[in-house]
Amino acid sequence: MSELINNTQKRKKLLKHMILQLHEGKTAAAVKKQLVKLLGKVPYGVVVEAEQELIAEGLPAKEVLKLCDVHGEALKGVVDVSEAKKVLPGHPVDTFLKENKALESEILSAQLIFSEVEKLPDKTNVTSQWLKLHQHFNNLMDVDKHYRRKENLLFPFLEKYGITGPPTVMWGKDDEVRELLKNSLDVILSAKEINAGEMKTVADLVIKSAVKALDEMIYKEQEILFPMCLDTLTDLEWFEIYRQSNEIGYCLFDPMDIWQPADLPESFKKETDSEIIQFQTGSFKPEELERVFDTLPVDITFVDKNDTVKFFSNSPHRIFERNRAIIGRKVQLCHPPSSVQVVQKILDDFKTGIRDRATFWINLGGRFIHIEYFAVRSTDKKYLGTLEVSQDLTDLRRLEGEQRLLNYERSKEK
């Protein structure tokens, strides 16, 4: 029968009717059966337009938000994305999709832990699995940057085109996912040891719902939001999103591909030759400053006063690997559960003024590594953040005698 209902307006009208049935209490399974029977596959654009029109016709956005998951369940496997546009590596949508892939990997790892614990007797100590779950949820919290780029960079362009309903509903669901993840992490942090029975109960009551909500948002983005946005935004609008994305940061993925529209106007091209960063003791062009940081024989990472990672130097010989996925993350989430308490103690001591530096040294792969944390303060002693400086001192510790400037000989090595 679906071939008889191929007019877009009729399909949209019928879809709106079925969505309203969900709000009247009809089950998702029953509505989905009707959808498949009458409509077959529903184009993603029709789904967005139907939801937008229902809100414009008076269906409260809060009501749509309330049953958003039911909508998703009814539409799963029914939405047709075969005609969705493809994108090149580096395009903002390509980055969103690869972040979702990384999130799905974390979700799968969490689900495997649930399955493993489910098979164990209730009295079994599962603290090791609990710590692994903690690490996966630390990583899942990184979705906040994915959502902020979507909400603050992508949604404003949709609103410019009059598409306001779906972004409003999706932003509300983003906030729900954030809250569920936060609550789950709080629960995980509250127990240092746990048995299988306790973990099963907590997982069923709190943690699994967070994983499910995040997974459902990935589906909504990939099946409906991103295809619709690719049909709506121009290449220049996508380039604006691309240019501003670095400021917010990336989720579990560092996009290395450079992307720009083929017909990018000269006015959009980044020019830095005339830009000057002025300090009290001199000035730099942005490229000069970046290369200075990358040339220093130390690894530098800066965390601001709100414990957010804002910068790291990127020399080719870094001791500890970094990628841009850590930018915008809370520093506590960048450390394994076993060491996060020490990190928090250092930050607390710096903020209260008890200490201004903390020093450590370790042996790593036969190299002697020196690590220092410094409190960064303003001229009036207000805490601005923390600077981590790591240096390989192996060769320096072996030095003996003197090597004076006058004894310098030009090396054949560049």
Q: Give the domain CATH number at 296.
A: 3.30.450.20
Other Cβ atoms within 10 Å of 276 Cβ, number: 11
> Does pLDDT of 269 surpass 50?
yes
Q: Pull the structure tokens for residue 130.
A: 């609990």
Q: Is residue 85 part of a domain?
A: no
pLDDT exceeds 60 at position 6? no
- Domain membership flag for residue 283: yes
CA distances from 3 to 32, 94, 281 (A): 17, 33, 74
Q: Are 189 and 139 in contact (CB under 8 A)?
A: no
Nearest to 245 by CA among 236, 255, 235: 255
Q: Give helix 165-190 / helix 208-220 axis angle, nearest 10°.
A: 150
Mark whether 288 and 229 lie in a shared domain: no
User: Do 122 and 53 share a structural domain?
Assistant: no
Which structural domain range is residue 53 located in? 2-80
Domain count of the fold of the chain: 3
pLDDT value of residue 332 = 87
- Residue 107: the pLDDT is 97
Q: How far apart are CA 48 and CA 172, in angstroms?
A: 16
For residues 345 and 221, membership in a common domain is answered with no
Provide the 10 A C-beta neighbour count for residue 353.
Answer: 11
Helix, strand, coil: what percent of the chain each, to 5? 55, 15, 30
**Do 116 and 166 sit in the same domain of this protein?**
yes
Q: Which of 64, 59, 19, 66 is nearest to 42 (CA)?
A: 19
Do 69 and 177 belong to one domain? Answer: no
Is the residue at 376 inside a domain? yes
DSSP 8-class letter at 301:
E
Q: What is the token pair recorded at 101?
A: 């892939």
Structural domain contains residue 304 = yes
Residue 403's alpha-carbon distances to 298, 407, 408, 412, in angstroms, are 21, 7, 8, 18
One domain for residues 242 and 100:
yes
Q: What's 401's DSSP letter?
A: S
- 100 and 217, same structural domain? yes
* Phi, psi (rounded to 5 degrees) for 103: -65, -40
Measured CA to CA, the distance from residue 10 to residue 38 in angstroms comes to: 11
Least confident of 55-69, 117-131, 167-181, 349-363: 55-69
The pLDDT of 25-43, averaged and rounded, is 60
- List the one residue out of 335, 313, 332, 333 whose CA is nearest residue 322: 313
* Phi/psi-derived region of residue 64, left when phi > 0, alpha when psi is between -120 and 50, beta in every other case: alpha
pLDDT tens for 135-170 read 999 999 999 999 999 999 999 998 888 887 778 888
Residue pair 50/74 in contact (Cβ under 8 Å)? The answer is no
Contact status, residue 71 vs residue 16, Cβ threshold 8 Å:
no
Question: Does residue 5 have a pLDDT over 50?
Answer: no
Domain boundary among 80, 106, 137: 80
Indicate the range of 173-187, 258-272, 300-314 predicted with least confidence: 258-272
Q: Give me the mean pLDDT over the 272-301 stretch.
A: 84
**228 beta partners:** none
- Rounded CA separation 260/238 (Å): 9
User: Does 282 share its domain with 174?
Assistant: no
Residue 60 exposure: Cα atoms within 13 Å on the Cβ side: 5
Q: Say whether both 229 and 285 belong to one domain.
A: no
Same domain, 233 and 377: no
Residue that is last in its domain, among 80, 103, 124 = 80
227: CATH: 1.20.120.520
Same domain? 105 vs 229: yes
Give the tens place of pLDDT for each residue, 103-129: 999 999 999 999 999 999 999 999 999
Query: Would 344 be classed as within a structural domain?
Result: yes
Q: Are 350 and 261 in contact (CB under 8 A)?
A: no
- Spatial distance between the Cα atoms of 115 and 94, rounded to a whole number of angstroms: 31
Is 414 within a domain?
A: no
Mean pLDDT of the chain: 83
Q: Name the pTM for this structure.
A: 0.72
Q: Which residues pair with 330 in a beta bridge?
A: 308
Task: Quote the percentage of the chain above a pLDDT of 90.
Answer: 49
Contact yes or no for 225/79 (Cβ under 8 A):
no
- The DSSP annotation for 90-159 comes to TSHHHHHHHHHHHHHHHHHHHHHHHHHHHTS-TTSB-HHHHHHHHHHHHHHTTHHHHHHHIIIIIHHHHH
Residue 368's nearest CA partner among 327, 401, 396 is 396
